[in-house]
Amino acid sequence: MNSKASCVLSFALFLLFSSSTSAFNITRLLGRHPQLSTFNDYLTQTQISQQINSRNTITVLVVNNKAMAGISGKPLDVIKMILSLHVVLDYYDVQKLTTLPNRTTILTTLFQSSGVAENQQGFLNASLINEGEIAFGSAEKGSNLTAKLVTSVAAQPYNISVLQITSLILPPGIVLAAPSPSNLPPKADTPAATPKKSPATPPPDQAPSSEPAVEAPAPSQEVVSSPAVSPSSAPVADAPVGDDAPVGSPLADDDITNSPAPAPVAPKSGSSRTSVASGVVGVGVVMGLVSSLLAF
């Protein structure tokens, strides 16, 4: 890089640095005046101080701590609207105000640029009254010039001017208190919480015993088999069962009417006949084998 380009770059950086260091800081300016500390604190809380510091040309109308008592404790959004009305988007010092053409002018404020103001709420009226006194008021129709210029706090032509006035300027329509419950929109009915039901208290004769509950025994898994009927005691002929039992027999009267129906049991006579038949067939086979051997 040649020396000429280096000089141009250095000069540009110098201008950039100079412009950044010459930027004003409203918090620092007001910090030198303890009687303006409340106004200064609210500028920080509402972040209006950042908007002021970001502009190149501005005029701030401030009031002392006593005059700020009227809005102390109000909602922060309301305080922000009021303070933004005291920030004029142009440079006005005492000399400029005392030489106003037609002795009056309309000032545009930061409140107007916020988009929240209605009608003329975001404008101020500055006028010369009496013997050169400077008074301010809302430009809203029907408003009066309620605040008068006290003194110049700081001035940096033509960037920032800080002017102290006697009282805050409150335009019509700005609510100074939080909305009362009667002014709030009705809320949807919230169903009442259903009270939890306490466990039902048993009657005195059913009061739970203090003794630990005894668990019912688990059903036994052991299979109890009925005694097998030996072949010698088994009847050869089938005994009548169920519907075949004669009326008036103990089986028909007791087992059917007074006790649950027995599980179906496979007839034993069929198995007995099968066993006898198998025995006969076996004897026949043995006899046939013996006959064959004797034939040889």
Specify the CATH number for the domain of residue 50: 2.30.180.10
Judge whether residue 165 has pLDDT over 70: yes
Strand partners, 123: 108
Residue 100 DSSP symbol: -
Inside any domain, residue 191: no
Average pLDDT over residues 68-96: 95
Q: Which residue has the tokens 């501005």?
A: 58
Inside any domain, residue 262: no
Instruction: Please report how many Cα atoms fall inside a 13 Å half-sphere around the Cα of residue 140, on the Cβ side.
Output: 16
Distant-in-sequence, close-in-space partners of 178: CB < 8 Å, separation ≥ 6? 74, 75
Residue 86: name the closest of 107, 55, 65, 57 by CA: 107
Rounded distance between C-alpha atoms, residue 262 and residue 256, angstroms: 9
Q: Tell me which of 16-20, 78-82, 95-99 is least confident.
A: 16-20
Rounded distance between C-alpha atoms, residue 123 and residue 125, angstroms: 7
Residue 70 DSSP symbol: G
What type of residue is 128?
L
Inside any domain, residue 119: yes
pLDDT at 131: 83
32: containing domain? 14-170
Average pLDDT over residues 60-80: 94
Pair 107, 124: CB distance under 8 Å: yes
Indicate the pLDDT class of residue 23, thresholds 50, 70 and 90: confident
What type of residue is 11?
F
pLDDT at 151: 97
Inside any domain, residue 234: no
Residue 83: Cβ-neighbour burial (10 angstroms; 0-12, 13-18, 19+): buried
Inside any domain, residue 146: yes
Inside any domain, residue 19: yes
Contacts by 131-136, CB closer than 8 A, 24 or more apart: 132/98, 134/94, 134/97, 134/98, 136/61, 136/165, 136/169
Query: Based on the structure, what is the number of domains in the chain?
Result: 1
Inside any domain, residue 2: no
Average pLDDT over residues 265-272: 44
Judge whether residue 119 has pLDDT over 50: yes
